[in-house]
Amino acid sequence: MLIPQFTIRWLMAVTAVCAVIFSIVAMGIRGHTWAACLSVAMAAAVILSLTYAGLFGLVWLFSLVAGVFGRRERSPFKPEAAMPSSSRPAQDGPAAPILLE
């Protein structure tokens, strides 16, 4: 089914939340300081969320393009990939103490 099903209770809850938000905005326009501050804070939260979503989408698209052109041999988080076997310290005995003068 292509059309999502909404319940009356869900639609009434959304309507009530929107009514409270726009009532606060209207009180802020009428001159109530606390309502104006809350309205600005809500607008800032929406703008920040949209900015974050847009930047996330941009970086995600960049990673898709970079994944096509760049090859990833190994994960940098694997211990064997981080340190080649030729430069690993010997595991024979305890390490020599470092003396500081």
pLDDT at 79: 64
- Residue-wise pLDDT for 54-73, tens only, equals 999 999 998 888 776 665 56
Split at pLDDT 50, 70, 90, the class of 74 is low
Structure-token pair, residue 97: 């103490």
In a domain, 80, yes or no: no
- Between residues 40 and 92, which one has the greater pLDDT? 40
In a domain, 43, yes or no: yes
In a domain, 27, yes or no: yes
In a domain, 34, yes or no: yes
In a domain, 45, yes or no: yes
What's the total number of domains in the chain? 1
Q: List the Cα angle 68/65/49 in 5-degree steps.
A: 145
Domain encompassing residue 62: 8-69
In a domain, 42, yes or no: yes
Instruction: Give just the sign of the alpha carbon dihedral 50, 51, 56, 57.
Output: positive
Kindly report the pTM of this predicted structure: 0.56
In a domain, 28, yes or no: yes
Q: Does position 86 have pLDDT exceeding 60, yes or no?
A: no
Q: Does position 51 have pLDDT exceeding 60, yes or no?
A: yes
Place of tokens 């309507």: 15
Mean pLDDT of 66-95: 60
- Residue-wise pLDDT for 4-41, tens only, equals 777 889 999 999 999 999 999 999 999 999 999 999 99
In a domain, 101, yes or no: no
